[in-house]
Structure formats: structure tokens, C-alpha cells
């Protein structure tokens, strides 16, 4: 009997577990030497750029926006297809997310629409490297230069991806990574902002700890009513163990994705994701169901796969159709590609501990369910 195959699962090795136990025994559990070491390792990975960690990539994105001075009355261009956090953080600063559509195959931001969406209030653009597929960074930064915009890269899913041979995070404006358990590396929960001027890096430090700065053992100053989002040493220790295996993990992801394409060839019964190039880290393998040709719904497909021992994810609903964004005036029909992806997408299992046999199980089960569901 095959065990249940989830759509993703983190790999934590015994060395990391032992190192976490050492941190627990040390008595230093909050931000300390491990956080400094993790930030230094991430900086080295990103070509020596400054790195500041947070407790989530959501906090990373929000703090990056705030460090750029974005707030009430400003607009930020955001793709309508992403996790809702990409837009939520804009709203939380007091600014307005201005949605644009995405490419149906790559799922990344439509830069022609982005350019058309620039207004006198636009302060920034937030491209999302969805599923780890890098956006066209040359075009993004050319657009930003033409209109004097900041670029906040939502690279939550792009750890280890590269664009034209350059690692995402090693160049550009402010780049935000996620270390959620579902990501290519994890710190249990966590995120990081890469880049920024010395003044902006200082702002990031203030935003993650109450807007407060300590200048001596008995000297504190609080500059604004900040929140609290400082990473723990326990989380950073997990992150360090994961980072040393990032290239191994991503190489395995690429092999597994290649196996999906090999087994399905030209006859896949669903729309496979765009393949991209060697710079794709294959954070997720998200395909689209041909619902117009099926007698079952997406939910029924997910249930049929679960009955065969295979977990399926959904990444993501189109952001502008949520109630919070309908309340801002957005409506169905504005961004058809994002809406279609949101309706049809299913995320198939893909994580480093999978075997080629597991990929075969997924392909066989998908073929079987969709064959039986044809109209």
C-alpha cells in the first residue's frame, strides 16, 4: 500500500536537528548569534548585499515598502495572480494595490499592462517570481527607471532561482524571500529583505523591533510605534542547515520537474506549466485542468486524487476577486488570465524527498482521473 504523497514536504536533516538542540540548550532562543550567522550566509549567497531577516516574508514585504516611504495616497502595481499577501502588505501601509494581469503560461506579471497602469501616484512595482519562474527583470527595471519607481521583488518562491545567470537577490532593488515550510528552504517560518541603502537597512531593523534602537546598555530610543518581527535563533539555525543544501534541493526539484515533462511528453491531459530555463528553481509544479472538457469540478479532481493517496494544492485564487479587494472596486472579468489560472490551477506534488516512482504515481493517477472524467 503506497503512503499518502503530499504536494510538498520539507526535508530537515539530522545534523540540523542536532544543531537546533544545541541552540535550545544554549539558553539563547531569541535573535542572537544564529540570526547574525544566517543573515551573513544569506548575504554571501546574494553576492555580499545587505540582508535583514523577519519572521515571515509577509513582514519582509511590508517592511520593504515602509523602508521606501510608501504609504497613504501612493499606488503600487501588483499582479492579480499571487498569494494574497502580495496585495495585503500594500493595503497595510495605507497605499493602494493597482492590479494588472499575468501571462497565462508563465503566470508572471504582464509588463505591458504594468506600464499602462502607471499613474502620477505610482511609487513602486511588485513583480512576483511565481512558482520560482523569474520575471523578465530587464524589462521590470527598465520600466521602473523610466517612471522613477521602486521595485519590491516578491521573491518568496524564488530562493535559488536565477535570471540570465544571476541569482535572484544578487542584484536589483529590494528583494524579499520566504522561508515558510513549503518553500525551497525553510526556517520553520521566516523571511528576509535583501538590498537597500544604509538608511533603508536601518529602517528595516527598526520596523522589526518596535521602532526601537539601543545605543548603550541603559540607553534606548523609540522612533515610531513599530511592530515585532525579529527572527529567533532556533529558526535561524534551521535556516542555516537548509541553506547549505539549497543547491542540492533545487537540483532535485529540476530533475523531478523534468521527469513530469518526460512522462507526459506531448500528450498531457492538462496544461503543464511553462518550462522556463535552468534558472527556474521549480518551487511548485502548477498545472491547469481543462475544466470545460471535464464532467467533474476541480474539487472533485482533488478528492479523486486524495482517494488515490495523492495530495493536490491550489496556488492561487485571483487576488482581486476576494471580498477585501472587491470592496476597493475590483470585479470579475478585469484580469482574465489571472481568473482562469485561479479557476483551473492544481499544484502537483514536487519536493526533494520524492522519487521518480512518486512522479510516475502522480502522472498515472492524473491520467486515470481525467480519462474517466472526460465529457
Query: Which residues are catalytic, by number?
Result: 183
Q: Mark out the alpha helices in 288-350 (DSSP H runs).
A: 298-307, 323-326, 336-344
Cell of 213: 534602537
176 touches 198 (CB < 8 A) = no
CA neighbours within 13 Å on the CB side: how many for 286?
A: 24
CA distance 65 to 69: 7
Residue 123's DSSP bridge partners are: none
304 touches 333 (CB < 8 A) = no
CA distance 178 to 368: 35
CA distance 59 to 154: 12
CA distance 254 to 281: 7
Beta strands in the chain (DSSP E): 51-54, 75-79, 96-100, 122-125, 150-154, 162-163, 166-167, 174-178, 191-194, 212-216, 219-222, 285-288, 345-348
Amino acid at each position: 500500500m503506497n503512503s499518502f504523497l503530499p504536494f510538498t514536504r520539507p526535508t530537515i536533516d539530522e545534523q540540523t536537528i542536532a544543531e537546533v538542540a544545541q541552540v535550545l540548550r544554549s539558553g539563547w532562543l531569541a535573535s542572537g548569534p544564529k540570526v547574525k550567522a544566517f543573515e551573513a550566509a544569506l548575504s554571501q549567497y546574494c553576492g555580499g548585499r545587505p540582508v535583514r531577516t523577519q519572521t515571515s516574508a509577509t513582514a519582509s514585504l511590508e517592511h520593504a515598502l515602509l523602508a521606501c516611504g510608501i504609504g497613504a495616497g501612493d499606488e503600487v502595481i501588483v499582479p492579480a495572480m499571487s498569494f494574497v499577501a502580495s496585495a495585503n502588505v500594500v493595503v497595510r501601509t495605507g497605499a493602494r494595490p493597482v492590479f494588472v494581469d499575468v501571462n497565462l503560461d508563465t503566470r508572471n506579471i504582464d509588463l505591458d499592462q504594468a506600464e499602462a497602469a502607471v499613474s502620477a501616484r505610482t511609487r513602486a512595482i511588485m513583480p512576483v517570481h511565481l512558482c520560482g519562474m523569474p520575471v523578465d527583470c530587464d524589462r521590470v527595471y527598465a520600466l521602473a527607471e523610466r517612471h522613477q519607481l521602486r521595485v519590491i521583488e516578491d521573491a518568496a518562491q524564488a530562493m535559488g532561482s536565477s535570471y540570465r545567470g544571476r541569482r535572484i537577490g544578487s542584484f536589483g532593488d529590494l528583494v524579499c524571500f520566504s522561508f515558510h515550510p513549503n518553500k525551497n528552504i525553510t526556517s520553520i517560518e521566516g523571511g528576509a529583505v535583501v538590498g537597500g541603502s544604509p538608511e533603508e537597512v536601518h529602517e528595516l531593523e527598526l520596523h522589526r523591533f518596535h521602532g526601537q534602537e539601543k545605543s548603550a546598555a541603559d540607553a534606548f530610543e523609540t522612533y515610531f510605534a513599530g511592530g515585532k518581527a525579529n527572527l529567533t535563533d532556533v529558526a535561524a539555525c534551521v535556516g542555516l542547515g537548509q541553506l547549505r543544501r539549497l543547491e542540492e534541493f533545487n537540483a532535485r526539484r529540476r530533475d523531478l520537474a523534468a521527469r513530469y515533462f518526460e512522462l507526459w511528453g506531448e500528450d498531457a491531459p492538462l496544461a503543464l506549466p511553462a518550462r522556463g530555463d535552468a534558472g527556474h528553481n521549480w518551487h511548485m509544479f502548477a498545472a491547469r485542468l481543462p475544466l470545460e472538457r471535464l464532467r467533474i469540478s476541480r474539487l472533485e479532481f482533488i478528492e479523486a486524487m486524495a482517494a488515490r493517496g495523492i495530495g493536490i494544492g491550489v496556488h492561487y485564487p485571483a487576488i482581486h476577486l476576494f471580498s477585501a479587494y472587491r470592496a476597493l472596486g475590483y470585479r470579475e472579468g478585469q484580469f482574465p488570465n489571472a481568473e482562469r489560472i485561479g479557476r483551473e490551477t492544481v499544484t502537483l506534488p514536487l519536493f526533494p524527498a520524492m522519487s521518480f516512482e512518486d512522479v510516475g504515481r502522480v502522472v498515472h493517477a492524473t491520467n486515470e482521473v481525467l480519462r474517466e472524467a472526460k465529457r
